[in-house]
Structure 1
Amino acid sequence: MPMDVTVTPSSIRLITPEGCTEVWLPAEVRLAPSSCRGLQYIAGDGLHLRLQAQAEFSTKLISVFNQSSQAQECCTFYCQSCGEVIIRDRKLLRVLPLPSENWGALVEEWCCHPNPFANKPLHPQENDCFIGDSFFLVNLRSNLWQEPKANTKVICKRCKVVLGETVSSETTKFYMTEVIIQPSERSFSIIPRSQFVQSVVAQCLVELSSAKSTFRYTIQDQNGKVYILIWLLNLDSLVVESLRSSKHTTKFPLFEDTLKSDSSPAWNAVKVLYQPCIKSRNEKWPF
């Protein structure tokens, strides 16, 4: 159908015989109208165009996982699959990020003397929560599991899902894809499993890509089995979509369950190359 597209620094207006749709951008995002290129309609995906944009976001990186487990609050740990309470009313006095993996090997390179941390692993105290790239470390000395052995699985009593593993007699590692942490006064609501895992993996990748010099990752289970290879591209992309309710409006399938009428029409996005590892193939990145 004939379509007229008008771009301003703060909005994009689409005029068709059926009417006018205008998408307003968040206040911190400004467009450069003269940079509009590559306008085309792709069946099943919608209208595409390329624009230069300026975004005045805060440069301070805040972990999305820290936001759900603030220090000085009483928190409850739940099994994400069934809602079973794992740890009830634990007051977290310290919520701290762990160093990245293989930090011990880096210390060997930095020090001209034997590694001073070799026999001093980072274990949380009773009111600590240490946050890794894909897991939480908590101290369960006074909790439900008595005298746990290291390297044993922690299983939900209700649904029998593997929630994590014991690291030592006092420290337990919970996987971020299996556990939700909420302030104790807040009610727990079940989130669809696939949507939750998508969200956690996406958040992990965004945080890792903002702190690492490489954008290639593997997704694997706790036994080391590799499921998929991922390569992130275009980390500064911005996706804009009209939220007008119409049979002619095409939504992104992965966003459709999470979009709401009062949500922003713009999202930060990345392009992803991926290679599934099926039947023991493609388990390592090709050189």
Structure 2
Amino acid sequence: VKTLPNLEVYCLLLFLELVYNLRESLKPQKNYIFYCQSCGGVIVKERKFLRVLPLPSENWSALVEEWCCHPNPFARSIIHPQRDDCFLGETFLLLNSRNESYVPESPKCSSETEHHTSQNDSTLKSKENTRVICERCKTTLGETVSSDTVKYYVTEVIIWPAEECFSTIPRSQFIQSMVAQCLVELSSAKSTFRFTIKGDDGRIYILIWLLNSDTLLVESSGSSTSHSVFTLFGDNFMPSCGPSGMWNAVKVLYQPCIKNRNKDLADAWESDFGVHPLKFPSETCLELLLMLGLSTASLPPSLQRMNSFQVAFLKL
């Protein structure tokens, strides 16, 4: 049995605490370094926040109109962090970029466009020009909201105390834990259990229905389907504890919506106020869909579906 040195065990435990309790762990008056989750490159060098504040939900302005008996005083208000602020959204963080010692490469807008370029292509190109990209691995980390505000998605960056050692974690486990945490927190806070997973291109990629948030998932070694499926995609999709282990997990039902699949159901969910949208980079949405598919394939055939939905587990 291979054992980890005490220092590595400490780093791993610290990292898991940051992943699963990001809102509780990110505190003011402490120094943090932002790393790219995909390659480990430094995104934001040592940074101390004076304020770490939660953001309201994305449709907060519409809710104000329902409660105010006079015109909405916040109709034209945009919430931007000031210097040394960090604002926490449901799937992202907002930082003021004025005093960042290092900002990842962000493609610049072209000064000229071809006359025959369609309006849709122009809109897509404009969206591409707002992306914040890791210089090292070219992964999309977020987007520029304004000239002095940057949005980072929680699935793309690791926020680490500056005084602690840094340790990476397999991307599959990281994405699963961050998405599962979002589902659990929102279901508890808003009593909503249905979610649309949207990409930064505005498209719906997955419909998710949260069934159970206190599942204990056990994977065994040997010739099990679970083990053989995970090994097809290399170390990034291998269980972190080796060929066998136990994890806390959430049980979900899901429907893929790529290539116009389940379009009618997706349209119905999008217009349903009881369904909550979650936005991630489009590439991450596809990765999440792959992980859900692998989880479904690891289950016995009789447990892979529930009515028209597929069944999967996301590890916390």
State the TM bucket, normalised to the shorter chain: 0.5 to 0.7
Contact 2:194 2:209 in 1 (8 A): yes
Secondary structure (helix, strand or coil) at the match of 1:271 reads strand
Return the alpha-carbon distance in structure 1 between the equivalents of residues 26 and 57 of structure 2. Answer: 20
TM score, norm. by length of structure 2: 0.60
Give the C-alpha shift of residue 252 in structure 1: 7.3
Opposite residue 216 of structure 2, the aligned amino acid is V
Q: 2:254 aligns with which of 274, 277, 281?
A: 274
Give the C-alpha shift of residue 272 in structure 1: 1.1
Question: Could you tell me which residue of structure 2 aligns to residue 112 of structure 1?
Answer: 69
- 1:168-247 matches, within 5 Å, as 168-235=146-213, 237-239=214-216
Secondary structure (helix, strand or coil) at the match of 1:107 reads helix
Q: Percent identity?
A: 58
Deviations 1:41-81, CA, capped at 9 Å, x for gaps = xxxxxxxxxxxxxxxxxxxxxx8222342221011111111
Contact 1:154 1:162 in 2 (8 A): yes
Contact 1:229 1:285 in 2 (8 A): no
Give the C-alpha shift of residue 139 in structure 1: 0.3
Secondary structure (helix, strand or coil) at the match of 1:279 reads helix
Contact 2:204 2:258 in 1 (8 A): no
Opposite residue 270 of structure 1, the aligned amino acid is V
Q: In the comparison of the two structures, how many residue pairs are matched? A: 218
Question: Could you tell me which residue of structure 2 aligns to residue 142 of structure 1?
Answer: 99
- 1:89-108 matches, within 5 Å, as 89-108=46-65
Q: 1:157 aligns with which of 119, 132, 135?
A: 135
Return the alpha-carbon distance in structure 1 between the equivalents of residues 267 and 222 of structure 2. Answer: 42
Unaligned runs of 5+ in 1: 1-62
Give the C-alpha shift of residue 266 in structure 1: 7.7
Opposite residue 134 of structure 1, the aligned amino acid is T
**Structure 1 residues 252 and 126 mapped into 2: Cα distance closer, same or farther (>3 Å)?**
farther
TM score, norm. by length of structure 1: 0.66
Question: Could you tell me which residue of structure 2 aligns to residue 73 of structure 1?
Answer: 30
Return the alpha-carbon distance in structure 2 between the equivalents of residues 117 and 94 of structure 1. Answer: 22
Identify, as 1 or 2, the structure richer in helix: 2
**Structure 1 residues 73 and 251 mapped into 2: Cα distance closer, same or farther (>3 Å)?**
farther
Secondary structure (helix, strand or coil) at the match of 2:258 reads coil
Secondary structure (helix, strand or coil) at the match of 1:96 reads strand
Opposite residue 196 of structure 2, the aligned amino acid is T
Provide the alpha-carbon RMSD of the alignment: 3.3
Return the alpha-carbon distance in structure 1 between the equivalents of residues 160 and 188 of structure 2. Answer: 26
Contact 2:215 2:251 in 1 (8 A): no
Identify, as 1 or 2, the structure richer in strand: 1
Return the alpha-carbon distance in structure 2 between the equivalents of residues 114 and 74 of structure 1. Answer: 41
- Tell me which moved more, 164-173 or 65-74: 65-74
Secondary structure (helix, strand or coil) at the match of 2:169 reads coil
Question: Could you tell me which residue of structure 2 aligns to residue 56 of structure 1?
Answer: none
Contact 2:131 2:140 in 1 (8 A): yes
Contact 2:170 2:240 in 1 (8 A): no
Secondary structure (helix, strand or coil) at the match of 2:186 reads helix
